[in-house]
Amino acid sequence: MREILLGGVPRRGLVLLSILLALLVALPIVVNDYLITVLILILYFAYVGQAWNLMMGFAGQLSLGHALYVGLGAYAAAALYVHYGVSPWIGLGASIAISAAAGAIIGFLAFRFGVSGVYFAILTIAFAEFARIGFDHWSWVGGSAGFFLPVANYTRSDLWNLRGSPTMFYYLMLAMTVAAFVLCHLLLRARVGYYWLAIRESPEAAQALGINIFRYKMYAVVLSAAMTSLGGVVFAFYYNNLFPEQVFHISRSIELILGPIIGGIGTLFGPIVGAFVLTALAESLGEIMHAFGIDIPGIKQVFYGVCLLVVVMFLPDGIWPPLSKALGLDGKRIQGGDKPGKSDTGGGG
Amino acid sequence: MAALLELSSVSKSFAGLKAVQDVSFSVPEGSIVALIGPNGAGKTTCFNLVAGVYRPDAGEVRLGGARIDGWRSDQICRAGVGRTFQLVKPFAGLTVMENVIVGALNATAGVREARQKAGEVIEQLGLGPKLDHMASSLTLPERKRLEVARALATGPKILLLDEVMAGLRPTEMDHMVAVLRELNARLGLTILLIEHVMRAVMALSAQVIVLHHGEVIASGPPAQVTRDPAVLECYLGEEAV
Amino acid sequence: MLADPHVPAAIYLNVAVSGLLTGLVYGLMALGLSVIFGVVRVVNFAHGEMMTIAMYIAIALFAAFKLDPLVMLVPIAAVLFALGYVMQRGLINPFINRPEHSQFMLLVAIALIMVNVLLIIFGPDAQSVQTRYAFDSFQLGALIVDATKLYAAIAALAVAAALFAFFRFTLAGKAIRACADNYMGALVVGLNVKQLYALTFGLGAACVGAAGAMMVLLVDVTPPLGPAYTLLAFVIVITGGLGSMPGALLGGVLIGLTEALGGLLFTPSAKSMFAFGLLVLVLLFRPQGILGKRQS
């Protein structure tokens, strides 16, 4: 299900967006520190979810190893900072380059050799696992014992070195999420966006219309990887510690796809809505249980699993499409009744 | 008239089965040629060989004198070959306009131009009222028209149409025939069509090529070919002739 | 990272044999996955998690009643059979005709729930089963074989043989093969495909249950083992050939060997890197696996 583009969104949608944005900008003033950290988490998942969505929702390639790019981006920038004092704003160049290269390798191997579907997903898992084990044994970045960034005090915000209060990180993530959103919107309106959707819907027809499938799939993978790596940079400087077991672990990869799946793959707002709903519900659940004095590790993950199950079973397109319809935001699109992809025979044969 | 598309001694086998055997024919520039034959004769395989879905085992395919056999299908499209599929493949999650824009992008520099061109083609094929409709909501005849519109939007020199008339009502078919005739007359668009519906074949084509068991058994003007005993035999069986 | 070059050849032999035996258990686990994918065409992302459930059942039974897992093999397999049957019938069936990624996500969700429920019930600490023969071994010249590994491997072969026999000789088995070969055809001749799919999933689950009962003798159990084994099962099945039963066993043995020898030649913690390396190579150069059939 493809999202409407800003150009086609009724005035109502634009107004809502502006209000929402204004609210988000003003929020830290009224809200306490704990909520800010929750919001940072939401924005982080919205951002990386959008990056993943680009590959899956737009180009149709299921990646279950996206934590690879988060990790590579995180370690690259962190290593440069810790070992050479390089600011993350410069270090992110390395993060992007390395992640993009990894994405390019995976994409090349997959697309050149015709690896797709479940095989592609497994390939992505394998690479993430490879990185996890590899980094576990790489002492220059701490190995399995972990890599630590010096924690400065939070009285001064040092944006250049990304040392500062949660509020600083909040605005940073907000800016990144908005930028990601705008970027995807622009891409969807351009040739590359149309071609991605064509490839997703029917690669055979797309090729017959002059689309170089390999090239455009590569664009999607590389861009997705590069975008994700920036999320990794923030991850590193926000948490100040990196452990391969955590950063590259498959649960990270699954965590970051929950948002887009629950919100709606292939839609522009899906990842954001999904990240918000999921994190808000999970934190609320945590709070409620805490209030009752129950503390069960793993209950949050079970909750995620159940949410995912429910959405996959009953709302396969995610929350956003029916929600946007209910809010009257889905523009003039006239939906069909039948399932896409079931073509009919021509009769004669 | 020079040949725009030329097949020379093209052969293709699949796991030992000879789908196309030593087939040669040419499609003159600006003409409409029909490729007919019983089921399994190898017609769609020929299309797939021309469009780059398969690579010929032997022989050459030339477009405007240049060899295109062995090229990828997207390269062949960019070279000027537009094709439809027998089992239509609409981009179901996109609207009609968006479907055709994808095609039009092959011939234009940007999306704005493509949108304009797509609009024109959509009008030509009579899909105007359905501009904003999702492709999945279209009826089969409409999907066939969409298929043609999309291929047409790529700005081809030659259009390969695979059984676009099947399943259409007589009025719809007449409309499609009229559109194709007009495109041919006005733009000089060369058309090669696979068809079972004889009415359309007779109405459109200047030349008919008959395939049977992967080989060309007859070729010539429609009136002549339809009276050819070899052709009648392959359709109706030896006894009937 | 490289090992001591003065290691005697006998060690390599022992490690290889140990890897081979463990590999047979891996193979049984992967066999279940292969059967499920070959017939129902569903990618069971919860495969390893199901095995972990079986392992914990074995642990619980052993802790409570001192029952040897190998003795409990059949009941544990039966429990997993029921689980698989119900999963297929209840949850997965409606997803047969849905897009691939929907199916994956369904099973990913199930796997996520399974792992964490196990975490909640059993906690994160490693648990194991210590049978009275846990430290026994057999000696054949320079070869020293762990009793547990040998028994587990024999059990794995026995279960695999039973499965082969089922598919070859029983009516249900043939019906299932028919479904796998030709879904439409099976429907047309009146086979209850839904039932057969559920049966197949149950069988696959039973395999994994049996494998779990054996595996618990060989390793310590923690909940995160689930996803690790799911991945391993996929690596094995893809390497050996998706849809090929002997391929699954062969793949298992190959991976068992690679891991064992890789662990010896390099550091033990890096041994799964070799499995992944093998996987990437297979995916690139022989995607149908060693014994699989090429799908055009």
Region A19-46: what's the mean pLDDT?
87
Six-digit token string for A9: 């969104």
- Asked if A340 lies within 8 A of B92 by C-beta distance, the reply is yes
Contacts of A211 (CB under 8 A, 6+ apart): A195, A198, A199, B74, B102, B106
Share of chain B above pLDDT 70, in %: 98
Looking at CA atoms only, how far is residue A27 from chain B in angstroms?
A: 37
Which B residues in the span 46-85 are in contact with A, Cβ-Cβ below 8 Å?
51, 53, 72-74, 77-78, 82-83, 85
The pair phi, psi for residue A274, each rounded to 5°, is: -60, -45
Higher pLDDT, C137 or A234: A234
CB B47 within 8 Å of CB B119: no
Rounded to two decimals, the ipTM of the complex is: 0.91
Predicted local distance difference test score (pLDDT) of residue A6: 44
Distance CA B207, CA B229 (A): 17
Looking at CA atoms only, how far is residue A106 from chain B in angstroms?
A: 22
Distance CA A154, CA A149 (A): 14
Buried b vs exposed e over C117-154: b needs ≥16 C-beta within 10 Å? bbbeebeeeebebebeeeeeeeeeeeeebbebbbbbbe
pLDDT at position A22 over 60: yes
Six-digit token string for A170: 């909040």
CATH 2.30.29 fits A6-326, yes or no: no
Region C142-150: what's the mean pLDDT?
83
pLDDT at position C1 over 60: no
Distance CA A8, CA A195 (A): 19
Looking at CA atoms only, how far is residue C251 from chain A in angstroms?
A: 16
A247-261, B144-158, C79-93, C278-292: which is most confident:
B144-158
CB B192 within 8 Å of CB B158: yes
CB C21 within 8 Å of CB C256: yes
If one counts every other C-beta atom within 10 angstroms of the C-beta of residue C294, the result is 9
pLDDT at position A114 over 90: no
Confidence of residue A152 (pLDDT cuts 50, 70, 90): low
- Residue at C5 is within a domain: no
CB C262 within 8 Å of CB C274: yes
**Which residues on chain C place their C-beta less than 8 Å from a C-beta of chain A?**
1, 43, 91, 94, 98-102, 104-106, 108-113, 115-117, 119-120, 124, 223, 227, 231, 234-235, 238, 267, 269-270, 272-273, 276-277, 279-280, 283-285, 287
The pair phi, psi for residue B210, each rounded to 5°, is: -110, 125
What would the pLDDT profile of C244-267 be if each residue is shown by its tens digit?
788 889 989 988 888 888 777 777
> What is the arrangement of strands in the sheet containing B58-63, beginning at the earlier edge strand?
B17-28, B3-14, B58-63, B66-67
The number of folded domains in chain C is 1
> Which of A189, A201, A213 minimises the CB distance to B94?
A201
Higher pLDDT, C140 or A329: C140
Predicted local distance difference test score (pLDDT) of residue B129: 93
Using a CB–CB cutoff of 8 Å, tell me whether B106 touches chain A.
Answer: yes
Higher pLDDT, A346 or C229: C229
Using a CB–CB cutoff of 8 Å, tell me whether A215 touches chain B.
Answer: no
Higher pLDDT, A49 or A292: A49
Confidence of residue A2 (pLDDT cuts 50, 70, 90): very low
Using a CB–CB cutoff of 8 Å, tell me whether A114 touches chain B.
Answer: no
Predicted local distance difference test score (pLDDT) of residue A155: 63
Looking at CA atoms only, how far is residue A317 from chain B in angstroms?
A: 12
User: Max alpha carbon distance in chain B (Å)?
Assistant: 60
Share of chain A above pLDDT 70, in %: 90
- Residue at C211 is within a domain: yes
Residue A343: which region, alpha, beta or left (left: phi > 0; alpha: psi -120 to 50)?
beta
A315 → chain C, closest CA residue: C102
Report the predicted TM-score, pTM, of the whole model to 2 decimal places: 0.85
pLDDT at position A341 over 60: no
- Residue at C164 is within a domain: yes
Q: Is B88 exposed, middle or buried (0-12, 13-18, 19+ CB in 10 A)?
A: buried
Contacts of C9 (CB under 8 A, 6+ apart): none
Region C159-175: what's the mean pLDDT?
87
pLDDT at position A61 over 70: yes
Which B residues in the span 166-205 are in contact with A, Cβ-Cβ below 8 Å?
166-167, 196-197
Predicted local distance difference test score (pLDDT) of residue B1: 64
Using a CB–CB cutoff of 8 Å, tell me whether A186 touches chain B.
Answer: no
What would the pLDDT profile of C53-84 be if each residue is shown by its tens digit?
999 999 999 888 888 888 888 999 999 999 99
3-state DSSP call for residue A31?
coil
Predicted local distance difference test score (pLDDT) of residue C282: 81
pLDDT at position C200 over 60: yes
Whats the size of chain A, residue-wise? Answer: 349
Looking at CA atoms only, how far is residue A266 from chain B in angstroms?
A: 10
Higher pLDDT, B138 or A332: B138
pLDDT at position C167 over 70: yes
pLDDT at position A343 over 50: no
- Residue at C62 is within a domain: yes
- Residue at C21 is within a domain: yes
What would the pLDDT profile of B182-236 be if each residue is shown by its tens digit?
999 998 999 999 998 888 898 899 999 999 988 999 999 998 988 888 888 877 7
Q: State the average pLDDT for chain A.
A: 84
Higher pLDDT, A290 or C54: C54
Query: Strand B158-162 and strand B190-194: pairing?
Result: parallel
Predicted local distance difference test score (pLDDT) of residue A226: 97
Predicted local distance difference test score (pLDDT) of residue C124: 87
3-state DSSP call for residue A246?
helix
3-state DSSP call for residue B211?
strand
Predicted local distance difference test score (pLDDT) of residue A205: 95
Confidence of residue C193 (pLDDT cuts 50, 70, 90): confident
Distance CA B76, CA B78 (A): 5
What would the pLDDT profile of B48-88 be if each residue is shown by its tens digit?
999 999 999 999 999 998 999 899 999 999 999 999 999 99
Confidence of residue C143 (pLDDT cuts 50, 70, 90): confident
Where do runs of H (alpha helix) occur along chain A?
11-30, 33-53, 67-84, 88-112, 117-136, 166-189, 191-201, 203-208, 213-239, 244-247, 250-263, 270-291, 299-314, 320-326
The pair phi, psi for residue A243, each rounded to 5°, is: -120, 125
CB B135 within 8 Å of CB B118: no
Confidence of residue A334 (pLDDT cuts 50, 70, 90): very low
- Asked if C287 lies within 8 A of A123 by C-beta distance, the reply is no
Task: Identify which of A112, A79, A111 has the alpha carbon closest to the alpha carbon of residue A98.
Answer: A79
Predicted local distance difference test score (pLDDT) of residue A346: 32
3-state DSSP call for residue B167?
coil
CATH for C181: 1.10.3470
> Neighbours of B (≥3 Cβ pairs closer than 8 A)?
A
Region A154-179: what's the mean pLDDT?
84
Looking at CA atoms only, how far is residue C116 from chain A in angstroms?
A: 5
A150-164, A259-273, B97-111: which is most confident:
B97-111
Six-digit token string for B81: 């070959």
CATH of B1-80+156-241 among 3.40.50.720, 1.10.260.40, 3.40.50.300, 3.30.420.610: 3.40.50.300
pLDDT at position B159 over 90: yes
| H or E segment and range at residue B217 | strand B215-220
Task: Residue C65: give the domain boundaries.
Answer: 14-123+132-285
- Asked if A210 lies within 8 A of B74 by C-beta distance, the reply is yes
A54-63, A198-207, B139-148: which has the minimum mean pLDDT?
A54-63
pLDDT at position A345 over 60: no
Task: Identify which of C159, C132, C133, C161 has the alpha carbon closest to the alpha carbon of residue C147.
Answer: C133
Using a CB–CB cutoff of 8 Å, tell me whether A285 touches chain C.
Answer: no
Region A94-100: what's the mean pLDDT?
97
